[in-house]
Amino acid sequence: MKLNETLFKHADGTCPSCNNSESVLFDEFHGETYCSQCGLVLHSTARNSIVEIMREAKEKGKRQKR
């Protein structure tokens, strides 16, 4: 089975784990955006976006420091 993967260029197309934007791909079959360098799934139709989760955690940490 051949997967249809395309380079996923958009404003948040950088992997938060390895800070690489050239390796972010979109897998149409699974509906996932992932980093082909480290394997982190950035967004999936089945679960919350890791980018959104990391942003929420960062904002929560800033609020707690105040």
* pLDDT score for 6: 57
CATH number for the domain spanning 40: value is 2.20.25
- pTM comes to 0.54
Counted domains in the chain: 1
Q: Work out the average pLDDT over 12-29.
A: 81
pLDDT digits (tens, 9 = 90+) for 37-47: 998 888 777 66
Domain of residue 61: give its range.
Answer: 5-65
* pLDDT score for 38: 92
CB atoms near residue 17 (< 10 Å): 14
The helix or strand, by DSSP H or E, that contains position 2, with its residue range, turns out to be none
Which tokens hold the place of 23?
A: 């390796």
